[in-house]
Structure 1
Amino acid sequence: MNLWETVTGSDLTREWKAFEVRAEALPADHRAAWEQVKAHLFPYSGFTGRNLTPILDNALGLLEETAADGQDVRDVLGEDIAGFCAALAGGEGARSHRDRWREQLNRDVARKLGRLGG
């Protein structure tokens, strides 16, 4: 990846298009699970989303393998896709955008209160 791709995000666009092409080949139930996986993983992305690329690639690979083996998607991912995605992102303690923003807000408020009170 060169500087231009980093700045413009063209590398991410290519990868997302490749993911979607691969997902189109999945059976309907696996494709629906893919959409849910993307939706549940998105809150764990960094500013650019580059941190999710390998996770999404592996999740899509798992869906492709299970579809090829004829396995039911619920047997592989379980009933709790949000929990599955949290585990993929680093466990139940994985921080989402909301968690990071809340922590930043709390730090900012504490800093302001410290300046006003002291």
Structure 2
Amino acid sequence: MTVAGEWIEKITGPFEDKKRYREYKARTKLLPESHRTAVEALDRYLMYFGSIGKSDVLLRMVDDLIDLFERAAADGTPVRDVVGEDPVEFAEEFLANYADGMWINKERDRLRRAVERAAGEESEKEGESPR
């Protein structure tokens, strides 16, 4: 790969990732209207709420989402039977399965460590006396 090609891939992500995401979008368009509308709405919410930073986690998530809705459509399962009465609750529970890719987890850990240090708990855990 050329230097320019490597630079472009760093900026835009690997070609394979883009290809998988385009395939997901194409699969979404093939769903019945009700299922497609639900997937598009969930996709938007998950992208904003989830802030998935790792492309492999994001792709795993959207692949699982489209698989779920393709199966539901094939089985004739109504959208409400898939997402339940509260689509936000469904989306957040769905997203929780992909927490390893959320940037907020790093920030949560950073906050916990900072408070532990501030409270002197970190050194106590390591068997040292608090400073």
Q: Same fold (TM over 0.5)?
A: yes
Do structure 1's residue 26 and structure 2's residue 31 form an aligned pair?
yes
TM-score (norm 1): 0.67
Seq. identity, %: 28
Deviations 1:5-56 (A, max 9, x none): 97333122101110011111101110011112211221241x3432121121
Bigger radius of gyration, 1 or 2? 2
Give the length in aligned residue pairs: 109
In structure 1, the gaps of 5 or more residues are 109-118
After the TM superposition, list the runs of 4 or more consecutive aligned residues in structure 1 that deviate by more than 4 angstroms: 94-105
In structure 1, distance between residues paired with 2:15 and 2:82: 32
* Cα distance change on mapping 1:99 and 1:80 into 2, 3 Å: farther
Match of 2:42 in 1: 37
Deviations 1:77-98 (A, max 9, x none): 113222212112226xx59656
Q: In 2, are the aligned partners of 1:26 and 1:64 still within 8 Å (CA)?
A: yes
Root-mean-square deviation over aligned CA pairs: 3.1
What secondary structure is seen at the aligned counterpart in 2 of 1:26?
coil
TM-score (norm 2): 0.62
In structure 2, the gaps of 5 or more residues are 1-5, 115-131
